[in-house]
Structure 1
Amino acid sequence: MSWNAVDALSDARAATQSLLLPFDPRTWAKLALVVFFVGTGTNASLTTNGSGTSGANVGPTLDFDPGTFSPGGAVPTFDTASLFTLVVGLLAVLLALFLLHSFLASVFEFVFVDNVTSPRVRLRTPFRTHLGDGTRLFAFKLILGAAVLSLFAVPVAAIVFGGIALGPGALLAVVPVLLVGVLAAFVVALVLGLTRDFVVPAMLVEDCGVLAGWRRVLPSMRAEWKEFALYVVIRIALNVLSGALLAVALALVGLVVAVPFVLLGAVVWAAFSPFAAALTTGTVLVGALVALYVVCLAAAGLFVTVPVAAYFRYYSLYFLARVDSDLALVARPDAPERPAERGPESGAADADSDAAGV
């Protein structure tokens, strides 16, 4: 047995350094945007921003007079129908945002591979090129997710809508179903991880769909099953290690980013707090600083995770190139030519085709 899963670690490190060094703010910013959607490769990431709507009778109605309300008086009651409508509306918005993010993440999986295997980091052209590939990957993930969700949803729906009493017998019957659902969720997570790491590159090489990509990769997995098993074990270990390191790094970044905001917030509060009439203005300004801090922290966090995401992406690509050279999107270590070095001058030949640099 060869040790391709181990040897690919050093290949990924060298390629990551070539991609990210010397530091280019535009390159890092574009990759940070990609990482916002695809995550670091250790887990799925989801960042959504809710949006409100305005209109008549969309919120809960209060059956009390605010002018006569006192702590010892009646407790306000909510209109159940209005509250239910509000909750359903919020859930629908969150679901729509989740699906939109998942769709964009599917497209950006291909954009990410395109960027780490091309002389330049671009966004618009690869996004348009791989829109169809991303749509197929999104449908594949949606079907798998719906299948796993049904394992949990069917027993819950039977209890809620079927009038099944929650007695000891019912609970004993639900436990095996939940265990099967948890096992299925683990299997689906593994399938999605292998799809991201190996099927996505196969789809690019073979210009095919997800199922055809799996059919292309499966023979290599069967022939080199020990190599792929070792790869999965190493990836799990790296996920744990990188997760711990990222947690520490993000905590330090949060403290560093917080320093100027804390100082500015203290100045604002000290300037407005002596004046009762201006207290609301000071509160609003401090609240705006807190919101700006959260945005800056999120942006800084994305920059911190860029090297981790690039490393994991290169690791899977170099491992795949070692076990199946026909699916190689990066040069093998024993190949006569190595991937082009990344630098400010790299990609000059593509300047005419992408003058905007996006």
Structure 2
Amino acid sequence: MYAIDDLGDAIDVTRDRLTPIDAGTWLKLALILFFIGGATFGGPGAPSTGTDTAPEGATGTDIDSLADLEAEYESQVTDGPLFETVLYAVAALVVGLFLLWLLYVLVGSIMEFVFIESLRTEAVEVRRYTRSHLGDGLRLFGFRLALLLALLVPLVVPIVYVVASVTEFSAGLAALGALYVFGAIVLGLAYALVNRFTTIFVTQIMVLEDRGVLAAWSRFLPTLRSNLAEYAVYVILVWILQLVVSFGYGILAAIVAVVVAIPFVVVGAIFVVVGGPAIYLAVLVGIVGLLCIFLAALLLRVPIDSYFRYYGFLLLGDTSPDLDLIPERRNAVRTGGPVGPGSGSSGGSDGDDWNDSSAWDDDANGDDDGWRFDSGSDDDEDRDQDQDRGW
């Protein structure tokens, strides 16, 4: 079974790509992983129940409107800034944080393709891959936002309705709550699956065949339907592996953090003992130490994230050879052959595949699913790519 066999092959491919260790390559991959480590940190907070938990006999103030909030603020704060100033500052902070989050998600979507190109080729060229896949990143960004809205709207709307309209608890409300929890679990699992398959498999097709997100999904669905058992086993194995690896990573990261922190703690303590202006140097040493610990944690993720991504590469290529993004690396680990700069996989998306004779052979044999170099098939290209270039 491919989903099982590829577990071992992914280790070999990862080792061949990341060794011998090159500091520049690992640092660039660590930078990329900083952005694609996760679009959000945690989920939406639990809604407030609105229950008064003050002790019996205690007095409280009911705030039902913005005017009541302003009156409460003015009664508590006499020498502080105006209520409107505080309100605008809070609103500006919220908007600023939201925009930063959007920027992080956007950059992360672009970095997904930079990571793919860095793993399929022999070089990590962040700027070049960013320029060549800017459009792909924007499409993936839009798809991720739409997918997130598809998750949040069905979850938030019922809560808002209940909080705004329900005044007392009932058995019917409890039954609806249980149904809501079940639906939220199903919806969350569906979101996780679609998001993972998009990130791991659909992005490969976007790179390989120059398609948009939805067009790449339509290309991937026949493979998924005909290999449901393979991908079901993949999902189960990945979730188990991620659980185990996350536990081990947490322990290892903690040990590395302690080791890296020791010299900075010693130097910082010396500056603190000296006192005076040296305190500022102690703060600087602390900041540098935290950055080094963060960098060490990212470097530990390089082989882990590369392994899981190569696992997805191998599985997609085994279940659909026409969608194989790393044929040379696959052949190298299974036959013992070399993978070098002259191979087709090392050329990225800038046209080095002209030197790959297999590409010409596919075209000569009439394989329309392979690379096309014959500019005479405009109608076929329009059908397969141009009209699908958007979503």
TM-score by length of 1: 0.79
8 Å CA contact 2:265, 2:286 repeated in 1: no
8 Å CA contact 1:109, 1:196 repeated in 2: yes
Distance 1:19 1:205 in 2: 20
**Equivalence map 1:159-170=2 (5 Å):** 159-160=162-163, 162-165=164-167, 167-168=169-170, 170=173
8 Å CA contact 2:39, 2:104 repeated in 1: no
Q: 1:36 aligns with which of 6, 31, 34?
A: 34
Instruction: In structure 2, give the amino acid aligned to 1:340.
Output: V
Structure 1 residues 339 and 156: alpha-carbon distance in aligned structure 2, compared to 1, 3 A threshold: farther
Same amino acid, percent of matched pairs:
33
Aligned to 2:306: 310
Aligned to 1:319: 315
CA displacement at 1:118 relative to structure 2: 1.0
**Equivalence map 1:1-358=2 (5 Å):** 3-39=1-37, 63=77, 80-160=83-163, 162-165=164-167, 167-168=169-170, 170=173, 172-272=175-275, 278=276, 281-331=277-327, 332-333=330-331, 340-341=339-340
Instruction: In structure 1, give the amino acid aligned to 2:339.
Output: A
Distance 1:167 1:282 in 2: 61
Q: Deviations over 1:18-61 (max 9, x none)?
A: 1111111111111111111112xxx65669xxxxxxxxxxxx99
Distance 2:338 2:146 in 1: 36
Instruction: In structure 1, give the amino acid aligned to 2:312.
Output: S
8 Å CA contact 1:113, 1:201 repeated in 2: yes
8 Å CA contact 1:111, 1:126 repeated in 2: yes
Distance 1:11 1:253 in 2: 28
Aligned to 1:356: none
Instruction: In structure 1, give the amino acid aligned to 2:270.
Output: V
Instruction: Give unpaired runs (5+ residues) of structure 1.
Output: 48-59, 66-76, 273-277, 354-358
TM-score by length of 2: 0.72
Distance 2:274 2:247 in 1: 40
Instruction: Give unpaired runs (5+ residues) of structure 2.
Output: 43-72, 353-391
Distance 2:210 2:254 in 1: 42
Aligned to 2:358: none
Structure 1 residues 164 and 267: alpha-carbon distance in aligned structure 2, compared to 1, 3 A threshold: same
Distance 1:152 1:36 in 2: 29
Distance 2:113 2:33 in 1: 12
Distance 2:166 2:282 in 1: 52
8 Å CA contact 1:320, 1:327 repeated in 2: yes
Q: How many residues align?
A: 312
